[in-house]
Amino acid sequence: MKKRSFKAFIAVGISLLIFSGFVVKKSDVFFDIAKNIDIFTRVYKEIAFSYVDGVNPEEFMRAGIRGMLNTLDPYTVFIDEKRQEDIDLLTNGKYGGIGITIGIRDNNVSIIEILDGFSAQKQGLQVGDFLTQVNGVSITPKNIDDVSSLVKGEPGTFVRLKILRPGVKDTINFELMREEIKLKNIAFAGFYPENSGNAYIKLTSFSRSAGEELKNTLLDLKRQRNIESVVLDLRNNPGGLLDVAVDITNKFLGKGLLIVSTRGRDSLSLKQYSGSQEPLIKDAKLIVLVNEGSASASEIVAGAIQDHDRGVILGQKSFGKGLVQTIVPLSYNTSLKVTTAKYFTPSGRCIQKINYSKNNKVYAEVDSLALSAFLTDNKRTVFSSGGITPDTIVADTEDPEIIRDMFAKGIIFKFINHLQEKSDKKEIEKLPESETFSQFMKFIKSENYIYVSELEKKVEDMLALSNKQKQFKKLSGSFQDIKKQLSIAAAENLDVYRSEILKEIKIEVASRIKGSEGRIKSSLETDPQFLTAVSILRNDTVYKNLLRKK
């Protein structure tokens, strides 16, 4: 009896020690929080009231909040009153506007896309128009960030625009009614190549309506003809809502299959998300295109498809964002977007690339993101950390330096504007390539466009440096000769890159005629990743071997 009492006493003692240790640890945390809030508040008050120059109390505090959050991952951010509409756009997928996308072209704020069916299109705004004024506010590249807030507003209200149109001398005035514009998650969907059974879907975001949009798209395509294969393009898709990613994946993966799990700081916070419905596309072959711009929700979709061997992942390694954010409403119409968990693919992979806790004293413990091997359903080896590695890596074609230079200077954009002054867009599309290139050469001559290569710039720097240093001055003549040869070669590059220039002109013309759909379809004609996907889908043996299917 005494032995039993002694054992019970020891057990209770150990329990009390463990419990008391836990309480002390918790109370230490609460004490540290209270202590440092008190210090922070006193510092804030002292500076606000006593600093030699007056400070803006709100901006001063906001700077402190931003500084504090900067020590964490870049996805944990404070959202002030001015940026609440960005949250509404992400969560609701709609806003009040006129249906235009703007960008800087030819050192002007230009309309680069017009959405179908909204007031901008209905009242005659055109791609290529330069925006000069919104509601009496002059618009320049310096204040382009203000244009969105000036144009957006409550549906049913009006916005006044002044634009300059190439070929028209005077400014044109517009008064357009704002409408409720639903954010399109699918930029283009259709059977491509033409007359094939392959459905190509370009998914650009994961806002609230994306799942329903994809469902309607697939049903519409099914009504047109039998879907034999799907190319789901997630390239440069930065992600969005986690539950929407689950819904999108469930369109291809079977009911009950695990899609993703999330785990927070608390070990009890594990959540698992599985397919709740039968897939819309069950047996058709599937290829998912990804690149370094595919992140977050895009990686959830790609990871689940890969782990269950449902389809082939093709392209380049994805971004590597395995962190989940929660939006917490705060007072005064502000919010905090805070990272609350990591997500894991069905095989158990966390694909987060950057370890923000490493060498950072703010974190109480360092996270381990070591590269580890996992197995798919068909026993293929896949790896954690650093994004989703495609099953077949296909590099995208990088634009030549001269094409990038033309884009930066808006040359092709201006050239199409120049052609539109003389001809209808559809007539431009019918121009023979030789005539188009001939007119382009004349145009760049009239614009005094001179291409200076990076190599030429470096030789220029070396020439300047050799002239400054006496021991190298005798080399300046040689550098002058090299520079002259490079200048001649640069001029010849225009003809060397004739096909690339004509391709970009064709894409821009297609964009003017059919918007983003025209641009995408025209781009696919020479897209190496898409063309490789189509060739794999046509070869049943290669497709099955990549997935180890029998």
Q: Give the active site residues.
A: 296, 307, 321
What's the token pair of residue 261? 């799990």
Compute CA 372 distance to the chain's CA centroid, rounded to the nearest angstrom.
27
How far is the C-alpha of 499 from the C-alpha of 522, rounded, in Å?
14
Closest CA to 315 of 204, 390, 384: 390
Q: Integer distance in angstroms from the first to the last C-alpha of the chain?
A: 67
Residue type, 41: T
Give CA separation, 67 vs 54, 71, 171, 454, 537, in Å. Answer: 20, 7, 45, 37, 50
Q: Which residues are bridge partners to 181 per DSSP? A: 95
Whether the link from the prior residue into 193 is cis, omega within 30° of 0, is: yes
267 DSSP assignment: G
CA distance 181 to 513: 21
From the list 406, 394, 396, 395, the residue with the least C-alpha distance to 498 is: 406
> Can you tell me the distance from the alpha carbon of 230 to that of 377, in angstroms, rounded to the nearest whole number?
21
- Write the CB contacts of 491 (distance below 8 Å, at least 6 apart in sequence): 451
CA dist 263 and 236 (Å) reads 26
Tell me how far apart the alpha carbons of residues 346 and 423 are, in angstroms, rounded to a whole number. Answer: 55
